[in-house]
Protein backbone atom coordinates (compact mmCIF):
# COMPACT_ATOMS: atom_id res chain seq x y z
CA UNK A 1 0.00 0.00 0.00
CA UNK A 2 2.86 2.40 0.91
CA UNK A 3 4.47 1.79 -2.52
CA UNK A 4 1.23 2.45 -4.16
CA UNK A 5 0.72 5.81 -2.30
CA UNK A 6 4.34 6.89 -3.04
CA UNK A 7 3.92 6.26 -6.77
CA UNK A 8 0.60 8.06 -6.88
CA UNK A 9 1.99 11.07 -4.93
CA UNK A 10 4.96 11.34 -7.28
CA UNK A 11 2.70 11.29 -10.33
CA UNK A 12 0.43 14.03 -8.89
CA UNK A 13 3.49 16.18 -7.96
CA UNK A 14 4.98 15.85 -11.39
CA UNK A 15 1.65 16.83 -13.00
CA UNK A 16 1.38 19.90 -10.71
CA UNK A 17 4.91 21.06 -11.64
CA UNK A 18 4.10 20.68 -15.35
CA UNK A 19 1.04 23.02 -15.04
CA UNK A 20 3.07 25.51 -12.95
CA UNK A 21 5.70 25.73 -15.79
CA UNK A 22 3.12 26.72 -18.46
CA UNK A 23 1.69 29.53 -16.31
CA UNK A 24 5.20 31.19 -15.86
CA UNK A 25 5.96 31.50 -19.62
CA UNK A 26 2.60 33.23 -20.31
CA UNK A 27 3.47 36.12 -17.95
CA UNK A 28 6.61 37.35 -19.99
CA UNK A 29 4.78 38.25 -23.35
CA UNK A 30 7.62 38.18 -25.96
CA UNK A 31 5.61 37.64 -29.12
CA UNK A 32 1.99 36.93 -28.47
CA UNK A 33 -1.19 38.79 -29.45
CA UNK A 34 -3.12 41.63 -27.79
CA UNK A 35 -0.30 44.19 -27.33
CA UNK A 36 -1.11 47.38 -25.45
CA UNK A 37 2.31 48.61 -24.26
CA UNK A 38 4.40 51.56 -25.60
CA UNK A 39 7.92 50.12 -25.87
CA UNK A 40 9.33 47.35 -28.07
CA UNK A 41 6.35 46.64 -30.20
CA UNK A 42 6.63 43.94 -32.75
CA UNK A 43 3.14 42.64 -33.12
CA UNK A 44 0.83 42.76 -36.15
CA UNK A 45 -2.26 44.55 -34.78
CA UNK A 46 -3.27 47.06 -32.17
CA UNK A 47 -0.15 49.12 -32.52
CA UNK A 48 0.23 52.25 -30.47
CA UNK A 49 4.01 52.54 -30.01
CA UNK A 50 6.74 54.67 -31.68
CA UNK A 51 8.38 51.88 -33.68
CA UNK A 52 6.02 50.74 -36.35
CA UNK A 53 6.20 47.58 -38.26
CA UNK A 54 2.60 46.59 -38.73
CA UNK A 55 -0.30 47.32 -41.11
CA UNK A 56 -2.23 49.68 -38.86
CA UNK A 57 0.00 52.64 -38.45
CA UNK A 58 -0.59 55.39 -35.98
CA UNK A 59 2.93 56.42 -35.01
CA UNK A 60 5.45 59.00 -36.28
CA UNK A 61 7.57 56.71 -38.49
CA UNK A 62 5.71 55.37 -41.47
CA UNK A 63 6.57 52.25 -43.29
CA UNK A 64 3.17 50.94 -44.24
CA UNK A 65 0.43 51.62 -46.80
CA UNK A 66 -1.73 53.93 -44.65
CA UNK A 67 -0.12 57.28 -44.35
CA UNK A 68 -0.75 59.56 -41.43
CA UNK A 69 2.74 60.81 -40.67
CA UNK A 70 5.06 63.60 -41.84
CA UNK A 71 7.21 61.58 -44.23
CA UNK A 72 5.45 60.47 -47.36
CA UNK A 73 6.33 57.35 -49.16
CA UNK A 74 2.98 56.06 -50.27
CA UNK A 75 0.29 56.76 -52.84
CA UNK A 76 -1.96 58.88 -50.59
CA UNK A 77 -0.55 62.26 -49.95
CA UNK A 78 -1.41 64.22 -46.87
CA UNK A 79 1.94 65.67 -45.90
CA UNK A 80 4.28 68.49 -46.80
CA UNK A 81 6.64 66.53 -49.08
CA UNK A 82 5.04 65.46 -52.30
CA UNK A 83 6.13 62.50 -54.27
CA UNK A 84 2.84 61.02 -55.40
CA UNK A 85 0.09 61.63 -57.95
CA UNK A 86 -2.39 63.44 -55.70
CA UNK A 87 -1.24 66.92 -55.06
CA UNK A 88 -2.26 68.93 -52.06
CA UNK A 89 1.01 70.56 -51.12
CA UNK A 90 3.12 73.54 -52.19
CA UNK A 91 5.54 71.70 -54.49
CA UNK A 92 3.97 70.64 -57.74
CA UNK A 93 5.07 67.59 -59.58
CA UNK A 94 1.80 66.20 -60.83
CA UNK A 95 -0.79 66.90 -63.51
CA UNK A 96 -3.37 68.61 -61.29
CA UNK A 97 -2.38 72.09 -60.46
CA UNK A 98 -3.37 73.74 -57.23
CA UNK A 99 -0.12 75.30 -56.14
CA UNK A 100 1.97 78.42 -56.73
CA UNK A 101 4.54 76.94 -59.17
CA UNK A 102 3.14 75.97 -62.50
CA UNK A 103 4.51 73.22 -64.62
CA UNK A 104 1.42 71.62 -66.04
CA UNK A 105 -1.31 72.31 -68.59
CA UNK A 106 -4.08 73.38 -66.22
CA UNK A 107 -3.31 76.75 -64.86
CA UNK A 108 -4.70 78.40 -61.81
CA UNK A 109 -1.65 79.99 -60.29
CA UNK A 110 0.40 83.12 -60.68
CA UNK A 111 3.25 81.82 -62.92
CA UNK A 112 2.11 80.98 -66.37
CA UNK A 113 3.68 78.52 -68.73
CA UNK A 114 0.69 76.69 -70.08
CA UNK A 115 -2.12 77.14 -72.58
CA UNK A 116 -4.59 78.93 -70.33
CA UNK A 117 -2.93 82.24 -69.69
CA UNK A 118 -4.05 84.53 -66.95
CA UNK A 119 -1.24 87.00 -66.77
CA UNK A 120 -1.34 88.96 -70.07
CA UNK A 121 -3.95 91.32 -71.47
CA UNK A 122 -2.89 91.94 -75.08
CA UNK A 123 -5.64 92.76 -77.57
CA UNK A 124 -5.47 91.68 -81.22
CA UNK A 125 -5.17 94.83 -83.34
CA UNK A 126 -4.06 93.28 -86.66
CA UNK A 127 -6.19 90.38 -87.79
CA UNK A 128 -4.47 87.14 -88.87
CA UNK A 129 -2.80 87.20 -92.26
CA UNK A 130 -1.31 84.16 -93.96
CA UNK A 131 2.19 83.73 -95.34
CA UNK A 132 4.24 81.18 -97.26
CA UNK A 133 1.82 78.38 -97.91
CA UNK A 134 3.17 75.04 -99.11
CA UNK A 135 1.59 71.65 -99.66
CA UNK A 136 2.24 70.77 -96.01
CA UNK A 137 2.48 74.02 -94.09
CA UNK A 138 1.55 77.66 -93.69
CA UNK A 139 2.54 80.62 -91.53
CA UNK A 140 -0.08 82.54 -89.54
CA UNK A 141 0.76 86.07 -88.38
CA UNK A 142 -1.17 88.74 -86.49
CA UNK A 143 -0.55 91.75 -84.29
CA UNK A 144 -1.40 92.87 -80.75
CA UNK A 145 -1.28 96.21 -78.96
CA UNK A 146 1.10 94.98 -76.24
CA UNK A 147 3.18 91.77 -75.94
CA UNK A 148 1.17 88.61 -75.54
CA UNK A 149 1.47 84.88 -76.17
CA UNK A 150 0.45 83.14 -79.41
CA UNK A 151 -1.98 80.31 -79.95
CA UNK A 152 -3.31 78.92 -83.23
CA UNK A 153 -6.01 76.29 -83.05
CA UNK A 154 -6.66 74.54 -86.35
CA UNK A 155 -8.26 71.47 -87.87
CA UNK A 156 -10.15 69.97 -90.78
CA UNK A 157 -13.48 71.34 -89.50
CA UNK A 158 -14.44 74.48 -87.65
CA UNK A 159 -14.31 72.43 -84.49
CA UNK A 160 -10.51 72.81 -84.91
CA UNK A 161 -8.88 70.36 -82.47
CA UNK A 162 -5.14 70.89 -82.84
CA UNK A 163 -3.13 73.61 -81.15
CA UNK A 164 0.23 75.31 -81.55
CA UNK A 165 1.16 77.47 -78.58
CA UNK A 166 4.11 79.84 -78.19
CA UNK A 167 4.65 81.28 -74.72
CA UNK A 168 7.03 84.03 -75.83
CA UNK A 169 5.22 87.31 -75.55
CA UNK A 170 5.32 89.27 -78.82
CA UNK A 171 3.59 92.15 -80.57
CA UNK A 172 4.13 90.60 -84.02
CA UNK A 173 2.90 87.03 -83.79
CA UNK A 174 4.15 84.25 -86.07
CA UNK A 175 3.02 80.65 -85.82
CA UNK A 176 4.04 78.00 -88.32
CA UNK A 177 1.66 75.11 -88.95
CA UNK A 178 3.36 71.99 -90.27
CA UNK A 179 2.42 68.43 -91.16
CA UNK A 180 -0.64 69.47 -93.13
CA UNK A 181 -2.17 67.59 -96.05
CA UNK A 182 -1.75 68.98 -99.59
CA UNK A 183 -4.64 70.60 -101.40
CA UNK A 184 -6.78 70.60 -98.26
CA UNK A 185 -8.99 73.16 -96.55
CA UNK A 186 -8.15 73.88 -92.92
CA UNK A 187 -9.94 76.02 -90.36
CA UNK A 188 -8.13 78.07 -87.74
CA UNK A 189 -8.32 80.85 -85.23
CA UNK A 190 -5.66 82.83 -83.38
CA UNK A 191 -5.56 83.76 -79.71
CA UNK A 192 -3.33 86.07 -77.71
CA UNK A 193 -3.93 86.20 -73.98
CA UNK A 194 -7.72 86.38 -73.59
CA UNK A 195 -8.43 87.78 -77.05
CA UNK A 196 -9.27 85.45 -79.92
CA UNK A 197 -10.32 85.82 -83.53
CA UNK A 198 -13.22 84.25 -85.30
CA UNK A 199 -12.60 81.05 -87.27
CA UNK A 200 -11.29 81.45 -90.82
CA UNK A 201 -10.06 78.93 -93.38
CA UNK A 202 -7.23 78.44 -95.86
CA UNK A 203 -6.17 75.90 -98.45
CA UNK A 204 -2.78 74.23 -98.58
CA UNK A 205 -0.95 74.33 -101.88
CA UNK A 206 -2.29 71.97 -104.55
CA UNK A 207 -0.68 69.09 -106.33
CA UNK A 208 1.27 70.06 -109.42
CA UNK A 209 -1.42 69.71 -112.06
CA UNK A 210 -4.37 71.11 -110.11
CA UNK A 211 -5.73 74.42 -111.51
CA UNK A 212 -5.37 77.43 -109.24
CA UNK A 213 -5.90 81.17 -109.29
CA UNK A 214 -4.41 84.22 -107.67
CA UNK A 215 -4.86 87.96 -107.53
CA UNK A 216 -2.16 90.56 -108.21
CA UNK A 217 -2.12 94.30 -107.54
CA UNK A 218 0.33 97.12 -106.93
CA UNK A 219 0.65 100.65 -105.60
CA UNK A 220 -2.39 100.75 -103.36
CA UNK A 221 -0.51 103.37 -101.27
CA UNK A 222 -2.77 104.92 -98.64
CA UNK A 223 -6.02 104.91 -100.55
CA UNK A 224 -8.16 102.39 -98.72
CA UNK A 225 -11.23 103.95 -100.29
CA UNK A 226 -10.05 102.50 -103.63
CA UNK A 227 -8.11 99.47 -102.44
CA UNK A 228 -10.84 98.22 -100.07
CA UNK A 229 -13.54 97.79 -102.75
CA UNK A 230 -10.98 96.04 -104.97
CA UNK A 231 -10.27 93.62 -102.12
CA UNK A 232 -13.97 92.78 -101.99
CA UNK A 233 -13.86 91.96 -105.72
CA UNK A 234 -10.72 89.84 -105.26
CA UNK A 235 -12.44 87.82 -102.52
CA UNK A 236 -15.22 87.11 -105.00
CA UNK A 237 -12.75 85.05 -107.04
CA UNK A 238 -11.77 83.00 -103.99
CA UNK A 239 -8.08 83.30 -104.86
CA UNK A 240 -5.52 80.82 -103.58
CA UNK A 241 -3.10 83.64 -102.77
CA UNK A 242 -2.39 87.31 -103.44
CA UNK A 243 0.62 89.12 -104.88
CA UNK A 244 1.45 92.76 -104.18
CA UNK A 245 4.09 94.40 -106.33
CA UNK A 246 4.89 97.04 -103.74
CA UNK A 247 4.10 100.55 -102.51
CA UNK A 248 1.69 99.06 -100.01
CA UNK A 249 2.04 102.26 -97.95
CA UNK A 250 3.11 105.82 -98.63
CA UNK A 251 6.09 105.60 -96.28
CA UNK A 252 7.30 102.34 -94.75
CA UNK A 253 9.25 104.30 -92.13
CA UNK A 254 5.93 105.38 -90.56
CA UNK A 255 4.52 102.43 -88.59
CA UNK A 256 1.15 104.12 -88.24
CA UNK A 257 0.50 103.49 -91.95
CA UNK A 258 0.79 99.71 -92.02
CA UNK A 259 -2.68 98.94 -90.77
CA UNK A 260 -4.90 101.66 -92.26
CA UNK A 261 -3.20 101.53 -95.67
CA UNK A 262 -2.61 97.79 -96.14
CA UNK A 263 -3.60 95.24 -93.52
CA UNK A 264 -6.99 96.55 -92.43
CA UNK A 265 -8.53 97.12 -95.90
CA UNK A 266 -7.34 93.64 -96.94
CA UNK A 267 -7.92 91.68 -93.74
CA UNK A 268 -10.79 89.60 -95.12
CA UNK A 269 -8.59 88.57 -98.05
CA UNK A 270 -5.35 88.00 -96.19
CA UNK A 271 -6.93 85.79 -93.52
CA UNK A 272 -7.71 83.15 -96.16
CA UNK A 273 -5.28 83.89 -99.03
CA UNK A 274 -1.56 84.13 -98.23
CA UNK A 275 -0.06 87.41 -99.43
CA UNK A 276 3.39 87.82 -100.99
CA UNK A 277 4.82 91.33 -101.30
CA UNK A 278 7.64 92.50 -103.55
CA UNK A 279 8.42 95.73 -101.76
CA UNK A 280 8.64 99.00 -103.66
CA UNK A 281 10.52 102.22 -103.16
CA UNK A 282 7.86 103.55 -100.76
CA UNK A 283 8.53 100.80 -98.21
CA UNK A 284 11.99 102.41 -97.87
CA UNK A 285 13.68 99.20 -96.71
CA UNK A 286 11.93 99.67 -93.38
CA UNK A 287 13.09 96.84 -91.13
CA UNK A 288 10.00 97.37 -89.00
CA UNK A 289 7.78 96.80 -91.98
CA UNK A 290 9.86 93.92 -93.35
CA UNK A 291 9.50 92.30 -89.92
CA UNK A 292 5.76 92.06 -90.40
CA UNK A 293 6.17 89.44 -93.12
CA UNK A 294 7.57 85.94 -93.47
CA UNK A 295 8.25 84.93 -97.04
CA UNK A 296 9.89 81.67 -98.21
CA UNK A 297 13.58 81.39 -97.43
CA UNK A 298 13.59 83.94 -94.62
CA UNK A 299 14.76 86.91 -96.73
CA UNK A 300 11.80 89.16 -97.29
CA UNK A 301 13.64 91.25 -99.92
CA UNK A 302 13.60 88.36 -102.38
CA UNK A 303 12.06 84.93 -102.35
CA UNK A 304 10.69 82.21 -104.57
CA UNK A 305 8.09 79.51 -104.30
CA UNK A 306 6.32 76.96 -106.43
CA UNK A 307 2.54 76.78 -106.47
CA UNK A 308 0.90 74.06 -108.55
CA UNK A 309 2.82 73.89 -111.81
CA UNK A 310 4.19 77.45 -111.61
CA UNK A 311 7.41 78.92 -110.22
CA UNK A 312 7.15 82.42 -108.69
CA UNK A 313 9.97 84.78 -107.81
CA UNK A 314 9.61 88.15 -106.07
CA UNK A 315 12.29 90.85 -105.73
CA UNK A 316 12.70 94.16 -103.97
CA UNK A 317 14.18 95.89 -107.01
CA UNK A 318 15.73 98.58 -104.83
CA UNK A 319 18.34 95.89 -104.15
CA UNK A 320 21.14 96.08 -106.76
CA UNK A 321 20.89 92.84 -108.72
CA UNK A 322 24.19 93.53 -110.50
CA UNK A 323 26.69 90.89 -111.67
CA UNK A 324 29.34 90.23 -109.04
CA UNK A 325 27.03 91.00 -106.13
CA UNK A 326 25.52 88.19 -104.05
CA UNK A 327 21.94 89.18 -104.79
CA UNK A 328 22.55 88.72 -108.52
CA UNK A 329 24.03 85.28 -107.87
CA UNK A 330 20.99 84.39 -105.80
CA UNK A 331 18.74 85.41 -108.68
CA UNK A 332 20.72 83.33 -111.20
CA UNK A 333 20.72 80.34 -108.87
CA UNK A 334 16.96 80.56 -108.45
CA UNK A 335 16.11 80.96 -112.13
CA UNK A 336 18.45 78.20 -113.21
CA UNK A 337 17.30 75.74 -110.53
CA UNK A 338 15.53 72.52 -111.52
CA UNK A 339 12.50 73.73 -109.54
CA UNK A 340 12.22 76.78 -111.78
CA UNK A 341 13.14 75.10 -115.05
CA UNK A 342 10.83 72.11 -114.52
CA UNK A 343 7.82 74.33 -113.86
CA UNK A 344 5.21 74.83 -116.57
CA UNK A 345 5.27 78.63 -116.04
CA UNK A 346 7.86 80.99 -114.55
CA UNK A 347 6.47 84.25 -113.11
CA UNK A 348 8.45 87.14 -111.66
CA UNK A 349 7.23 90.26 -109.86
CA UNK A 350 9.13 93.31 -108.72
CA UNK A 351 8.21 96.96 -108.36
CA UNK A 352 10.28 98.95 -110.85
CA UNK A 353 9.70 98.23 -114.58
CA UNK A 354 12.45 98.19 -117.18
CA UNK A 355 10.36 100.44 -119.42
CA UNK A 356 7.12 102.37 -119.05
CA UNK A 357 4.83 104.51 -121.15
CA UNK A 358 3.17 106.22 -118.30
CA UNK A 359 5.35 108.68 -116.38
CA UNK A 360 6.68 111.90 -117.96
CA UNK A 361 9.80 112.07 -115.83
CA UNK A 362 10.68 108.39 -115.73
CA UNK A 363 11.10 105.86 -118.51
CA UNK A 364 12.14 102.78 -116.53
CA UNK A 365 14.77 101.34 -114.22
CA UNK A 366 18.27 100.91 -115.66
CA UNK A 367 19.35 98.04 -113.35
CA UNK A 368 16.25 96.08 -114.30
CA UNK A 369 16.77 96.90 -117.94
CA UNK A 370 20.46 95.98 -118.01
CA UNK A 371 20.64 92.98 -115.70
CA UNK A 372 17.28 91.53 -114.68
CA UNK A 373 15.52 91.59 -118.04
CA UNK A 374 18.28 89.60 -119.82
CA UNK A 375 18.18 86.96 -117.08
CA UNK A 376 14.43 86.63 -117.43
CA UNK A 377 14.83 86.02 -121.14
CA UNK A 378 17.74 83.62 -120.70
CA UNK A 379 15.82 81.47 -118.20
CA UNK A 380 12.51 81.62 -120.06
CA UNK A 381 10.37 83.59 -117.65
CA UNK A 382 6.87 83.67 -119.12
CA UNK A 383 5.55 86.88 -117.59
CA UNK A 384 6.61 89.55 -115.13
CA UNK A 385 4.55 92.04 -113.14
CA UNK A 386 5.71 95.54 -112.23
CA UNK A 387 4.21 98.58 -110.54
CA UNK A 388 5.81 101.94 -109.78
CA UNK A 389 3.99 103.63 -112.64
CA UNK A 390 0.38 104.18 -111.63
CA UNK A 391 -1.35 102.79 -114.66
CA UNK A 392 -2.06 99.56 -116.53
CA UNK A 393 0.29 98.38 -119.24
CA UNK A 394 0.57 95.03 -121.00
CA UNK A 395 3.18 94.06 -123.58
CA UNK A 396 4.96 91.27 -125.40
CA UNK A 397 8.46 91.65 -126.78
CA UNK A 398 8.52 88.36 -128.67
CA UNK A 399 9.87 86.26 -125.80
CA UNK A 400 8.23 87.42 -122.61
CA UNK A 401 4.98 89.08 -121.49
CA UNK A 402 5.14 92.16 -119.27
CA UNK A 403 2.61 93.96 -117.09
CA UNK A 404 2.46 97.16 -115.12
CA UNK A 405 -0.40 96.83 -112.65
CA UNK A 406 0.13 99.97 -110.57
CA UNK A 407 -3.54 100.89 -110.23
CA UNK A 408 -4.68 99.64 -106.82
CA UNK A 409 -5.06 103.08 -105.24
CA UNK A 410 -2.16 105.52 -105.79
CA UNK A 411 -2.84 108.67 -107.81
CA UNK A 412 -2.93 107.75 -111.50
CA UNK A 413 -0.21 108.69 -113.98
CA UNK A 414 -0.84 109.69 -117.58
CA UNK A 415 0.56 108.39 -120.85
CA UNK A 416 3.98 109.95 -121.65
CA UNK A 417 5.76 108.00 -124.37
CA UNK A 418 5.53 105.00 -126.66
CA UNK A 419 7.23 101.71 -125.89
CA UNK A 420 7.36 99.59 -129.01
CA UNK A 421 6.22 96.32 -127.49
CA UNK A 422 3.55 97.73 -125.18
CA UNK A 423 0.23 96.51 -126.55
CA UNK A 424 -2.28 97.92 -124.08
CA UNK A 425 -2.25 101.10 -121.97
CA UNK A 426 -4.92 102.38 -119.56
CA UNK A 427 -4.69 105.09 -116.95
CA UNK A 428 -7.28 103.67 -114.60
CA UNK A 429 -7.58 101.88 -111.31
CA UNK A 430 -7.55 98.10 -111.53
CA UNK A 431 -6.24 94.79 -110.29
CA UNK A 432 -5.32 91.55 -112.04
CA UNK A 433 -6.93 88.16 -111.63
CA UNK A 434 -4.88 85.22 -112.92
CA UNK A 435 -5.91 81.59 -113.34
CA UNK A 436 -3.62 78.73 -114.29
CA UNK A 437 -4.98 75.51 -115.74
CA UNK A 438 -2.42 73.13 -117.18
CA UNK A 439 -0.56 74.86 -120.02
CA UNK A 440 -2.91 77.88 -120.08
CA UNK A 441 -2.54 81.02 -118.01
CA UNK A 442 -5.39 83.53 -118.24
CA UNK A 443 -4.87 87.09 -117.03
CA UNK A 444 -7.87 89.44 -116.58
CA UNK A 445 -7.53 93.13 -115.72
CA UNK A 446 -10.55 94.32 -113.72
CA UNK A 447 -11.65 97.92 -113.22
CA UNK A 448 -13.54 99.63 -110.40
CA UNK A 449 -16.90 98.51 -111.77
CA UNK A 450 -15.83 94.87 -111.67
CA UNK A 451 -15.59 94.63 -115.45
CA UNK A 452 -12.76 92.84 -117.26
CA UNK A 453 -11.27 95.56 -119.49
CA UNK A 454 -8.32 93.50 -120.77
CA UNK A 455 -7.93 89.74 -121.02
CA UNK A 456 -4.88 87.87 -122.20
CA UNK A 457 -3.74 84.26 -122.34
CA UNK A 458 -0.35 82.62 -122.34
CA UNK A 459 -0.63 79.17 -123.87
CA UNK A 460 2.27 76.74 -124.10
Name the residues that contact Fe ion, by CB under 5 A. Answer: 219, 247, 410
Report the alpha-carbon distance of residue 255 to residue 236 in Å, rounded: 30
Beta carbon of residue 146, minimum distance to Fe ion (angstroms, whole number): 33
The nearer residue to Fe ion, 79 or 247, going by C-beta atoms, is 247
CB 6 within 8 A of CB 14: no
End-to-end CA distance of the chain: 146
The nearer residue to Fe ion, 364 or 410, going by C-beta atoms, is 410
The nearer residue to Fe ion, 283 or 447, going by C-beta atoms, is 283
Beta carbon of residue 221, minimum distance to Fe ion (angstroms, whole number): 6
CB 99 within 8 A of CB 90: yes
Report the alpha-carbon distance of residue 449 to residue 42 in Å, rounded: 99
Give, in order, the Cα–Cα distances in Å from 103 to each of 55, 84, 97, 128, 159: 35, 15, 8, 29, 27
The nearer residue to Fe ion, 151 or 220, going by C-beta atoms, is 220
Beta carbon of residue 385, minimum distance to Fe ion (angstroms, whole number): 14
Give, in order, the Cα–Cα distances in Å from 259 to each of 231, 237, 267, 289, 350: 15, 24, 9, 11, 22
Give, in order, the Cα–Cα distances in Å from 190 to each of 115, 122, 185, 211, 460: 13, 13, 17, 29, 42
The nearer residue to Fe ion, 280 or 296, going by C-beta atoms, is 280
Beta carbon of residue 157, minimum distance to Fe ion (angstroms, whole number): 42
The nearer residue to Fe ion, 219 or 447, going by C-beta atoms, is 219
Beta carbon of residue 394, minimum distance to Fe ion (angstroms, whole number): 18
Question: Which residue of this chain has its Cβ atom nearest to Fe ion in the complex?
Answer: 247
Which one, of 412, 373, 379, lies nearest residue 395 by Cα? 373
Beta carbon of residue 268, minimum distance to Fe ion (angstroms, whole number): 24
The nearer residue to Fe ion, 138 or 408, going by C-beta atoms, is 408
Q: How much of the chain is helix, strand and coil, in % rounded to 5?
A: 20, 30, 55
Q: What is the CA radius of gyration of the chain?
A: 40
Beta carbon of residue 365, minimum distance to Fe ion (angstroms, whole number): 13
Neighbours of 23 (CB within 10 A): 8
Identify the helix (H) or strand (E) that includes residue 373. Answer: helix 373-378
Beta carbon of residue 318, minimum distance to Fe ion (angstroms, whole number): 13
Beta carbon of residue 218, minimum distance to Fe ion (angstroms, whole number): 7
In the sheet with 275-277, reading across from the earlier edge strand, the strands are 275-277, 241-244, 212-217, 431-437, 440-446, 452-459
The nearer residue to Fe ion, 307 or 429, going by C-beta atoms, is 429
The nearer residue to Fe ion, 117 or 407, going by C-beta atoms, is 407
Amino acid sequence: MLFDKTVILAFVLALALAFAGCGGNGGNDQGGRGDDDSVGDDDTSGDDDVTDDDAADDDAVDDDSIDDDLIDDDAVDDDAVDDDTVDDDTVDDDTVDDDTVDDDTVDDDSIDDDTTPIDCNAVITRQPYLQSVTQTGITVMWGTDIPGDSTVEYGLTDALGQTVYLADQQIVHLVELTGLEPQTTYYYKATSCHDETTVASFRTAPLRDTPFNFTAFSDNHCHAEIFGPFVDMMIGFDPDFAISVGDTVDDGRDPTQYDPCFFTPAQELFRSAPVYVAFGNHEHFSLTYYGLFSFPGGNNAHFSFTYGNTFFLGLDADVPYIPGLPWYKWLVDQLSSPEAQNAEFRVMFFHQPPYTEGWPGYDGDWVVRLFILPLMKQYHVDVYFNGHTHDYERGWDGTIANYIIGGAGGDLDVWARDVAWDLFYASEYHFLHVSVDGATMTLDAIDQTGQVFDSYQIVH
